[in-house]
């Protein structure tokens, strides 16, 4: 008999007490039991649609979890896919008649696996050393970018040809085509902040915005100032979603506590982020900090107060952008296909980040913003709310699956005949740009706030002529 918590080469774990061994899943036994095994989740699961494997759909994942808790099954390296190959997109949750929270069951499974196997040295370094400190994380990314530029393209091509680069490394290289010369925090440090006595917005700078899309963050600051906010920049770390989604709950909780403490320095400000994934997770801090061994030991009132101040930038734009636009330019809302005078019209479609639509229920606000802008012909593309396959590290860890899911999304974007596809998540933006670039499309993929700044600028200029 193997010792509890040990996995042999065949991948089997001894089951002395399944409920104790799989305690994270046991805590969700009632949720697991609610699955009626109807299979309706198959039609909406992006992973199942490209794999046609029962391990890639909610029903299969839940039945595996049930088998672990009952003692009928054990953890196996062969069966890790039941938990690892999930996007956490919640499409299955929305279509489930019982509303079974498959995403929480999957994360519980990942937490169990992390506890049994332990974090790899690489992930431990990322979650515990890099994500809490944006300075250290920035140095790492800059070093990685420098090393990539030092390797000739011919050598990289040869490594890819012979499989020496590795599928995950190859996909990372495709996604991280260009590391900006300056990160967002560096750019903002040189910028003179607008002063206002009206309102303050503490900016939560997501890792993707800071290190990959600093121009998105700059647009956010400019638009916030247009809306009457003075922007505050604090020394916070990552929101913690990457660690949580990987099953490293304690690392996510450490990040959550540090962020709550940091933003307590600006108690009267709202907390705004242009990353919908960050916004969604920041709002979940009360639940995250009540889980596991930390349950009940952290001030719930502080976590609730923090979460109540968080705003996805889309929320502010939905509430204020059209008011600002009308006041500054006199433009009314554009009608479909209408060219607003001298404002050039463009055809726009929208990709729903899962953390905007299914987690925050803010998808309609993004569309309201788009329809309020001058010269916008908004086109609803097919399967707009289907996950693009990015899902943070999923795009790298499960590159082949991710690319197949991305191909479907790219086809739908191109079929919309739009000039521009809009989204509100840097991970989605990275994925969409990769798919459009690889397909040879000239459709541009940009953040919602970039379009808002662009359209407002054009409208103001045309109104002054």
The enclosing H or E element of 111 equals: helix 102-117
125 and 72 in a common domain: no
75 and 55 in a common domain: yes
Whether 283 maps to a domain, the answer reads: yes
CATH at residue 210: 1.20.1050
Whether 373 maps to a domain, the answer reads: yes
pLDDT at position 9 is 44
pLDDT at position 149 is 58
304 and 337 in a common domain: no
152 and 57 in a common domain: no
In whole angstroms, give the CA distance from residue 108 to residue 133. 27
pLDDT at position 83 is 93
Domain count, the chain: 4
Give the residue from 173, 272, 265, 179 showing the smallest Cα distance to 217.
272
The structure tokens 């204020």 sit at: 320
State the DSSP string of 31-96.
HHHT-----GGGGT-HHHHHH--GGGSHHHHHHHHHHHHHTS----GGGTHHHHS-----HHHHH-
In whole angstroms, give the CA distance from residue 175 to residue 409. 16
CATH at residue 43: 1.10.1060.10
Write out the chain's pLDDT in tens, 465 residues. 233 344 444 444 444 566 678 899 999 999 999 999 999 999 999 999 999 888 889 999 999 999 999 988 887 777 888 999 999 999 999 999 999 999 999 999 999 999 988 898 989 999 999 999 999 999 988 887 666 555 555 444 443 433 433 455 565 655 566 678 899 999 999 887 666 557 899 999 999 999 999 999 999 999 999 888 999 999 999 999 999 999 999 999 999 999 999 999 999 999 999 999 999 999 999 999 999 765 555 578 899 999 999 999 999 998 875 665 554 455 544 444 444 455 678 999 999 999 999 999 999 999 999 998 888 999 999 999 999 999 988 888 898 999 999 999 999 999 999 999 999 999 999 999 999 999 999 999 999 999 999 988 766 655 554
State which residues form the domain around 42. Answer: 18-117
352 and 302 in a common domain: no
pLDDT at position 235 is 95
Whether 352 maps to a domain, the answer reads: yes
169: Cβ contacts below 8 Å, ≥ 6 apart:
none
pLDDT at position 174 is 59
340 and 443 in a common domain: yes
pLDDT at position 155 is 44
In whole angstroms, give the CA distance from residue 398 to residue 78. 15
The structure tokens 């040295």 sit at: 121
Judge whether 102 and 55 are in contact, CB under 8 Å: no
pLDDT at position 381 is 97
For residue 345, what are the CA distances in angstroms to 67, 160, 162, 349, 384? Answer: 56, 42, 47, 13, 22
pLDDT at position 379 is 96
Whether 229 maps to a domain, the answer reads: yes
In whole angstroms, give the CA distance from residue 350 to residue 224. 22
Whether 363 maps to a domain, the answer reads: yes
Judge whether 69 and 19 are in contact, CB under 8 Å: yes
32 and 112 in a common domain: yes
449: Cβ contacts below 8 Å, ≥ 6 apart:
216, 219, 220, 223, 274, 313, 317, 424
For residue 217, what are the CA distances in angstroms to 27, 184, 426? Answer: 40, 6, 11
Q: Mark which of 69, 88, 117 sits at the end of a domain.
A: 117
131 and 98 in a common domain: no
pLDDT at position 377 is 93
105 and 212 in a common domain: no
């Amino acid at each position: 008999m193997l010792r509890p918590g040990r996995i042999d080469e065949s991948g089997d774990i001894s089951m002395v007490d399944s409920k104790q061994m799989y305690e994270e899943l046991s805590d969700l036994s009632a949720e697991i039991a609610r699955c009626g095994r109807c299979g309706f989740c198959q039609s909406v699961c992006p992973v199942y649609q490209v794999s046609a494997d029962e391990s890639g759909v909610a029903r299969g994942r839940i039945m595996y979890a049930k088998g672990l808790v009952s003692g009928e099954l054990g953890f196996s390296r062969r069966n890790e896919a039941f938990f690892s190959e999930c996007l956490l997109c919640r499409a299955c949750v929305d279509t489930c008649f019982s509303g079974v929270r498959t995403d929480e069951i999957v994360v519980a499974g990942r937490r169990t696996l992390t506890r049994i196997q332990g974090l790899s040295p690489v992930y431990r370094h990322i979650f515990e050393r890099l994500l809490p400190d944006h300075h250290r994380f920035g140095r790492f990314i800059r070093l990685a970018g420098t090393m990539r530029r030092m390797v000739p393209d011919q050598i990289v091509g040869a490594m890819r040809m012979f499989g020496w680069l590795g599928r995950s490394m190859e996909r990372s290289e495709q996604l991280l085509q260009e590391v900006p010369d300056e990160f967002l925090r560096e750019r903002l440090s040189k910028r003179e902040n607008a002063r206002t006595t009206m309102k303050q917005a503490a900016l939560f700078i997501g890792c993707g915005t800071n290190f990959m899309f600093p121009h998105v963050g700059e647009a956010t600051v400019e638009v916030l100032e247009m809306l009457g906010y003075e922007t505050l920049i604090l020394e916070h770390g990552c929101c913690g979603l990457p660690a949580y989604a990987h099953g490293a709950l304690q690392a996510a909780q450490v990040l959550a506590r540090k962020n709550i403490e940091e933003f307590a320095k600006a108690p009267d400000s709202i907390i705004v982020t242009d990353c919908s994934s960050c916004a969604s997770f920041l709002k979940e801090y009360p639940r995250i900090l009540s889980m596991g061994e930390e349950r009940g030991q952290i001030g719930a009132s502080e976590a609730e107060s923090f979460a109540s101040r968080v705003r996805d930038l889309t929320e502010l734009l939905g509430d204020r952008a059209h008011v600002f636009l009308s006041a500054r330019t006199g433009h009314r809302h554009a009608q479909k296909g209408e060219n607003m005078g001298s404002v050039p019209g463009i055809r726009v479609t929208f990709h729903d980040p899962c953390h905007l639509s299914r987690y925050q229920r803010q998808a309609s606000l993004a569309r309201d913003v788009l329809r309020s802008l001058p010269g916008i012909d908004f086109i609803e593309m097919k399967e707009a709310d289907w996950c693009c396959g990015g899902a943070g590290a999923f795009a790298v860890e499960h590159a082949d699956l991710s690319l197949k899911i991305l191909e479907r999304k790219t086809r739908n974007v191109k079929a919309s005949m739009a000039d521009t596809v809009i989204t509100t998540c840097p991970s989605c933006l990275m994925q969409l740009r990769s798919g459009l670039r690889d397909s040879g499309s000239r459709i541009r993929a940009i953040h919602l706030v970039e379009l808002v700044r662009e359209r407002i600028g054009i409208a103001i200029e045309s109104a002054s002529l």
